[in-house]
Structure 1
């Protein structure tokens, strides 16, 4: 499992996917989220504005798992 460091209290899911180089654009981040390809702490998330906090586990189909630290 890879770690993603954030320097704020939280980050929105679509921004996190771009920050971690999982999505190369906001449009692609939106697409993979709306397709149900992203889980946060084991639950599928369809909202790109979902707030992600340190300690959350992000799973992206075809990419892997990431822990936010």
Structure 2
């Protein structure tokens, strides 16, 4: 399984936007379609809410890719 670390610079990111920002789809609309199809898991459970708030510490899986959402390093900002 491929692992991607996504650095979260805010309190949360919407699931469909996370898929786009992580490079797993071309647009937020495509991300919404992936979520609606039941292909996305958040922390091991199928997530059907397209704009679910994803926060640091959560793991999102789509196919053979797992996204680890991590908090931004405040020293770099």
TM-score (norm 1): 0.91
Mapping of residues 43-54 of structure 1, within 5 Å: 43-54=45-56
| Cα distance in structure 2, aligned partners of 1:2 and 1:27 | 21
Name the count of aligned residue pairs: 68
1:37 is aligned to 2:39:
yes
TM-score, normalised relative to structure 2: 0.82
Q: Output one character per residue of 1:4-28: Cα deviation in whole Å (capped at 9) or x when no partner.
A: 1110011110111111111101221
Q: Could you list the structure 1 runs, at least 4 aligned residues long, displaced by more than 6 angstroms after superposition.
A: none
* Larger Rg over CA atoms: 2
Name the residue aligned to 1:15. 17
Unaligned runs of 5+ in 1: none
Query: Mind listing any 5+ residue stretches in structure 2 that lack a counterpart?
Result: 71-77
Paired with 1:9 and 1:30, the residues of 2 have a C-alpha distance of 20
